[in-house]
Structure 1
Amino acid sequence: MSAEKSPHFYLQNLDPGRIKFARELHGLTKKELAEKIGKTPSAVTQYEAGKSGLSLETFTALAHALSVPFSFFSKCNHPLPTASFSECHFRANRRVPQMERLRAFSFAVQVFSIFSYLADRGVHFPETAFPTFDGSQVQEREIEKYAVEVRSAANLGLGPIPNMAGLLESLGVRIILLPAREAKLDGFATWFEGTPCVMIDSNSAASRMQFDYAHELAHLIFDEESTPEDPLVERRANRFASAFLMPATSFRADCPQFYRQSHFVSVKKYWHVSIAAALYRARELGILSEKSYKSAQISRSRAGTRMQEEEEFPPSMPSLLDQAMRLVCHDVRLDEMALDLGMSQHGLRDILELQNVSPDVLDVMTPPTKKARIIDFSVYRDTD
């Protein structure tokens, strides 16, 4: 059984790399952290590199400034996965600060460590089951062919995909839901220790989320060696997502040849895509003329539905981590799991709930605190 140790123990078993990890997890620059603990940025650099010892006072200040338990910094924790921020393909507004991207990346690393922790305790997750290709050899005009090939490998046929999250998880992809932030970061994709991972904004509209899942899948399929944020790579991912969600042959037969709101609402509900994506695909396939497409955009702008789409369907949410937690919930206590991962119990529960793990499962892992027995001393009083 894991047991909480003293701050001195964790200081003696310090992993300096976890100072940097905690800082990036909380979106702080070295200067900002230095101000919080009353030190200089160069001192923070020394601490993170393990080139300067920490006093217990400074160690305590770090834990408080970064809102983590002392155990977070211990080299005895379950190891964090090796991952490269520079290899992540971000689907984000270019104005999203680098620190916000680092913060999202660090959060994803922390969540992936939960998957890794469960795997080490005997939980078997789906193996990777989709083809990958050398993106440098893939021509844009061939995207339609690749989309159909990937569908065929997954035994999908050419119809709608109502549950992209379920599909990705069945193909061995780990989906990590990102906390809603003010900055516009829709998601990103990368491989953590050979495992494909897709990170998605938990606050996205359902139809947008569907497209983001397919977009990030494209990065996993084509872009393991590609330069992140290359405009051509991003355009290819968009084209793949469109072709994968709406195969040309079947979508062409189903899509209206002119824009009417009610018709495209029906398309949205049937194909589980946004109206914006359906209109773009219709123009791409020549179903709608350029004039009709522009007219539809003007009509939607006037109705106020271009940015806030109508008739959203229920979001496609991951369930793999919830299933895994159900397997261990009667054998692992949440406080022990949190300690092994270097997290607080409250922090771990918040993360798991964000990842769509049922509160009922977490309640099973959180046994009620035993109350001290109350002795009524009045029965012993001398009543004479």
Structure 2
Amino acid sequence: MSTTFIPARLEMARAIRQMTATDLAAAAGTTPPWVSQAENMKKTPSPELIREFARVLNFPLDFFYRPVVGLPPSDAFHFRASSRLAKKDEATARSLSTLAIELSDWIEATYRAPASAVPELQDLIDFDDDLAPEQAAEALRGAWGLGVAPIKNLLQLLESKGAKVYSAGGPLQAIDAFSFRHGSTPVIFLNIHKSAERLRFDLAHELGHLVMHGGSLHVEPGKEKEQAANDFASSFLMPRADVLGAIRGNLMLEDIMVLKRRWRVSAMALNLRAHRLGVISEWTYGTLAKQLSMAGFRRGEPGSDLRAESSSLLTQVMSDMRGRGEGFADIAKALSVRAQDIQDLMLGIVTFAVQGDGLGRSRSTAVLRDASLAPVADLSARRGRH
């Protein structure tokens, strides 16, 4: 263990535990200004005080001596409704992102995971061109060889393209979803307290941000940016040609209940997509929207039997570790965090044993071998010590 205290670790731990400097100071027997000065490298706390910080914040002592990986710049993060996002929640999200990057780096060093293949828009088109969200979605489908068929499992598709997907369902539930790139690796956080259909839309929405709003094509946060990501998600999940081919004649409520299963989307999203493609009139769209709202579809998907998509990559990693008699505690030890911190990053996208000593029955234990896609992770290679 290094003997150099890392101030950024104190701020990171406090943000993850969602404690103010005043709260931490009171519990650790010091003052808020002292905490602030320690975080800003103006004072170095004594070993005894660092141990108190570790106890109060419930982190291993080693955590405060580990170098911190570099986060992307602030404008590289894509937060939903960022104008209404509380500063403390944004701080928690960025700190969890650091932990997710460290976990991702550990996975990359231990297993042969897929290389990043989520392009930015300028990689799909001539740099001087400008594509509307629908055309961007069609271009990405073409680049990935998806045609216009419905996507069976979007989470596993993104993992096969090198994306890392984590849960914000532990300490952070105030944010719908957010994403960023760590180098070339896309990282997506999901709030798993939603219907399976809306989680898929959130994934597609964040994919839209990663493709359209990264690098030199970055645009300022706001309604226009969020609407573009929504339009991309709708077009990516419900391709124009497939929708026009599947919907013939007028659309009724019973038709929506059947067709929403085809594209695995919410009833509201399907109604809106049909309207924007000109399949149904303004009057029909409004009538269906009112009927769906009265039936509870504005807040959820009543009667849906669609199961939330699970992470194949994380499931394979944890299954491999369990087979070796290892588990969350071993990853946590390598990253100097609690086993619960690792579990929280997988909450809702991997089903695991409560004690964290292995993996319980997963929603999907199959290795991803869909059409032309390779397995998500090659567990036979690059398996090293933790």
Q: CA deviation at 1:124?
A: 1.2
Is the 2:7–2:41 contact (alpha carbons within 8 Å) kept by the matching residues of 1? Answer: yes
1:321 paired residue number: 314
Correspondent of 1:108 among 75, 85, 97: 97
2:60 paired residue number: 69
Correspondent of 1:25 among 16, 34, 38: 16
AA paired with 2:310?
M
Aligned residue for 2:357, secondary structure, equals helix
For 1:248-287, what aligned pairs fall within 5 Å after superposition?
248-255=240-247, 257-287=249-279
1:375 paired residue number: none
Q: CA deviation at 1:64?
A: 2.5
Alpha-carbon distance between aligned partners in 2 of 1:171 and 1:268, rounded to the nearest angstrom: 26
Alpha-carbon distance between aligned partners in 1 of 2:51 and 2:239, rounded to the nearest angstrom: 57
Question: Using a 3 Å threshold, how does the CA distance of structure 1 residues 114 and 331 change in structure 2: closer, same or farther?
Answer: farther
Q: 321-330 vs 19-28, which deviates more?
A: 321-330
Q: CA deviation at 1:167?
A: 1.0
1:131 paired residue number: 119
For 1:1-384, what aligned pairs fall within 5 Å after superposition?
12-75=3-66, 80-92=69-81, 94-121=83-110, 123-134=111-122, 139=130, 142-179=132-169, 184-225=174-215, 226-227=218-219, 229-255=221-247, 257-312=249-304, 313-329=306-322, 330=324, 334-352=328-346, 354-356=348-350, 358-359=352-353, 363=357
Alpha-carbon distance between aligned partners in 1 of 2:270 and 2:249, rounded to the nearest angstrom: 12
Question: Using a 3 Å threshold, how does the CA distance of structure 1 residues 280 and 257 change in structure 2: closer, same or farther?
Answer: farther
Question: Using a 3 Å threshold, how does the CA distance of structure 1 residues 127 and 334 change in structure 2: closer, same or farther?
Answer: same
Alpha-carbon distance between aligned partners in 2 of 1:27 and 1:346, rounded to the nearest angstrom: 15
Alpha-carbon distance between aligned partners in 2 of 1:325 and 1:81, rounded to the nearest angstrom: 26
Alpha-carbon distance between aligned partners in 1 of 2:329 and 2:247, rounded to the nearest angstrom: 53
Alpha-carbon distance between aligned partners in 1 of 2:318 and 2:159, rounded to the nearest angstrom: 15
Q: 241-250 vs 31-40, which deviates more?
A: 31-40
Q: CA deviation at 1:69?
A: 1.9
Alpha-carbon distance between aligned partners in 2 of 1:181 and 1:37, rounded to the nearest angstrom: 21
Q: Which structure has the greater CA radius of gyration?
A: 1
Q: CA deviation at 1:57?
A: 3.5
Is the 2:321–2:358 contact (alpha carbons within 8 Å) kept by the matching residues of 1? Answer: no
Aligned residue for 1:218, secondary structure, equals helix
Aligned residue for 1:127, secondary structure, equals coil
Alpha-carbon distance between aligned partners in 2 of 1:17 and 1:215, rounded to the nearest angstrom: 31
Is the 2:133–2:229 contact (alpha carbons within 8 Å) kept by the matching residues of 1? Answer: no
AA paired with 1:42?
P
2:368 paired residue number: none
Alpha-carbon distance between aligned partners in 1 of 2:71 and 2:325, rounded to the nearest angstrom: 28
Question: Using a 3 Å threshold, how does the CA distance of structure 1 residues 334 and 13 change in structure 2: closer, same or farther?
Answer: farther
Q: Which runs of 5+ in 2 are unaligned?
A: 360-386
Q: CA deviation at 1:339?
A: 2.3
Q: CA deviation at 1:349?
A: 4.4
Q: CA deviation at 1:206?
A: 0.6
Is the 2:170–2:347 contact (alpha carbons within 8 Å) kept by the matching residues of 1? Answer: no
Question: Using a 3 Å threshold, how does the CA distance of structure 1 residues 212 and 228 change in structure 2: closer, same or farther?
Answer: farther
Alpha-carbon distance between aligned partners in 1 of 2:319 and 2:300, rounded to the nearest angstrom: 36
What TM-score results when the alignment is normalised by the length of structure 1?
0.82
Q: 107-116 vs 92-101, which deviates more?
A: 92-101
Q: 305-314 vs 217-226, which deviates more?
A: 305-314
AA paired with 2:37?
Q
Deviations, residues 95-132 of structure 1 (Å, cap 9, x unaligned): 331211221232232123112113223x1111122332
Aligned residue for 1:60, secondary structure, equals helix
Q: CA deviation at 1:53?
A: 2.1
Q: CA deviation at 1:257?
A: 4.4
AA paired with 2:210?
L
Question: Using a 3 Å threshold, how does the CA distance of structure 1 residues 351 and 244 change in structure 2: closer, same or farther?
Answer: closer
Q: Which runs of 5+ in 1 are unaligned?
A: 1-8, 366-384
What TM-score results when the alignment is normalised by the length of structure 2?
0.82
Is the 1:265–1:311 contact (alpha carbons within 8 Å) kept by the matching residues of 2? Answer: no
Is the 1:82–1:192 contact (alpha carbons within 8 Å) kept by the matching residues of 2? Answer: yes
Alpha-carbon distance between aligned partners in 2 of 1:111 and 1:290, rounded to the nearest angstrom: 44
Aligned residue for 1:204, secondary structure, equals coil
Deviations, residues 123-148 of structure 1 (Å, cap 9, x unaligned): 111112233224996646x3322211
Question: Using a 3 Å threshold, how does the CA distance of structure 1 residues 72 and 196 change in structure 2: closer, same or farther?
Answer: same
AA paired with 1:50?
M
AA paired with 1:113?
E
Alpha-carbon distance between aligned partners in 2 of 1:188 and 1:349, rounded to the nearest angstrom: 19
AA paired with 2:69?
L
